[in-house]
Amino acid sequence: RSPTYSGSPEKNGAPSNDEEDKPLSVAEKSLLQKIVRKGLIESKQELEIQRKDPHSPLYSVKTFEALHLKPELLKGIYEMGFYAPSKIQETALPTLLADPPHNMVAQSQSGTGKTAAFSLTMLSRVNPKIQEPQGLCLAPTYELAIQIGEVVAKMGKFITDLSVRYAVRGENLERGKKITEQIIIGTPGKVLDWGLKYRFFDLSKLTVFVLDEADVMIATQGHQDFSLRIQKRLSPECQIMLFSATYDKEVMEFAQDMVPNPLIIKLKREEESLDNIKQHYVLCKNIDEKYEAVSNIYGVVTIGQAMIFCHTRKTAAWLAEKLTKEGLNVGLLSGELTVEQRLSILDRFREGKEKVLITTNVLARGIDVEQVTIVINFDLPIDMEGKADCETYLHRIGRTGRFGKSGIAINLVDQGSLHVLKEIEKHFGKKIELLDTEDVDDQG
């Protein structure tokens, strides 16, 4: 058997691999969230809509046909496996596609269909017969821009003569050239250069402008300023849309500067809960007993997959190596990996190539992978002072409505961390049952 775990931090002799992982940047989180999710999050939460213009027709559609799209576009949507609009789409699309165009600010968590909504809008607004940029979408990073481009390309696959241009690092154009693609997707700095400095295209000729991931955008130095400078060059007729996964004060202020008279749509985030989760703990004397427990549990993971959380990279790497030596297929994900490495490990896990993914704190919220049925806390989450980190516990283990069915959490606890377990129990008001690992297969 060939060991399949990848990305050992010890291979290159990384000097301080027992450090706790640094949290991911907002951009990295956002990207990973996009990749990890295969499907749509169908939120049960209500939409909150703030109408700017009381006379604007605000209705919602339950089908894509009702939007009277170009047949080629409808074909693209169906080929992507979209049968009906998501919640945010059913409200946003009629307004986004209305004539005259309406500006919009929309907030809903990652995975609810925002990208698909604005891609559709751009595609239905641009004229493929005209060979110059008409739609522009700004994204905070190279990787996020590529993600969007892939959606636009797929959705617009049947529209003849339509093409997309990336304005991101690595892309270059000869001086004096003009861009002929109808849609540009890029990062603010490059777009500003191309539009203003080199005049590869005319910003005032755009008819539709999208700013995606506004919350990530403002977290990146310079992006906000560049975006505003781009916005100032648009014609007053250009439709402006801004999307964000969160909607705090800073995002709101940025949105106000960017988007004149918008219709504002907000979809509340679904709360995670421990309601359908069976929580257990196993008492272990030391790390070797913890290892024994994991190996017993591995033996009974027949349906679904498991995630194991460790406190340090060193423990994570140690555990991965030991399990791999036993011939088990495990993935290891920790902070020192590049985004590309993380993505490939996550992809493998999502495809089921590994049954177990071992990770440090980094990704607690990113991985709402449906098939994860068991979460093992090899170490309980604690804060800097050694107290229970209940929020992280909830992100690791809690589920939102979509995954509502059931899940199992197993906490490996030694004498020293028993008090953390008690704190967690108390915080959530839910009992965590003692589990004898020998009986683990009786626990449904």
Residues lying near ligand ADP in the complex (CB under 6 A):
34, 37, 39-40, 82, 85-86, 89, 110-116
Shortest Å distance, C-beta 302 to ligand ADP:
28
The minimum distance between CB 426 and ligand ADP, in angstroms, equals 35
Instruction: Give whichever of 101 and 113 is closer to ligand ADP, judged by the CB atom.
Output: 113
CA gap 396, 345 in Å, rounded: 18
State which amino acid sits at residue 421.
L
Assess contact for 310 and 378: CB atoms under 8 A: yes
Q: Which is nearer to ligand ADP, 62 or 175 (CB)?
A: 62
Contacts (Cβ under 8 Å, ≥6 apart) of 48? 265, 266, 267, 268
Cβ nearer to ligand ADP, comparing 8 with 244: 244
DSSP at 25: P
* Between 85 and 398, CB nearer to ligand ADP: 85
C-beta closer to ligand ADP: residue 97 or 310:
97
d(CA 246, CA 268): 9
Give the tokens for residue 94.
């009629």
Q: Which residue has the tokens 């709360």?
A: 271
Helices (H), 327-375: 339-350
Judged by beta carbon, residue 49 or residue 196, the one nearer ligand ADP is 49
The residue among 246 and 312 lying less far from ligand ADP, judged by its C-beta, is 246
CA 180/CA 427 separation, integer angstroms? 58
Q: Whose Cβ is closer to ligand ADP: residue 112's or residue 141's? A: 112
Whether the Cβ atoms of residue 27 and residue 144 lie closer than 8 Å to each other = yes
Residue 107 Cβ vs ligand ADP, minimum distance, rounded to whole Å: 10
Residue 360 CA to residue 364 CA, distance in Å, equals: 8
d(C-alpha 73, C-alpha 358), whole Å: 41
Could you tell me which of 221, 236, 206, 212 has the C-alpha nearest to residue 139? 212
| Residues, the chain | 444
Least distance in Å: CB of 92 to ligand ADP? 11
Place of tokens 């297969």: 441
Residue 301 CB, nearest approach to ligand ADP (Å): 26
Report in angstroms how near the CB of residue 387 gets to ligand ADP at its nearest.
33
Rounded distance, CA 210 to CA 97, Å? 14
Minimum distance, C-beta of residue 111 to ligand ADP, in the bound complex (Å): 5
Partners of residue 211 on adjacent β-strands: 138, 242
Quote the least distance from Cβ 341 to ligand ADP, whole Å: 22
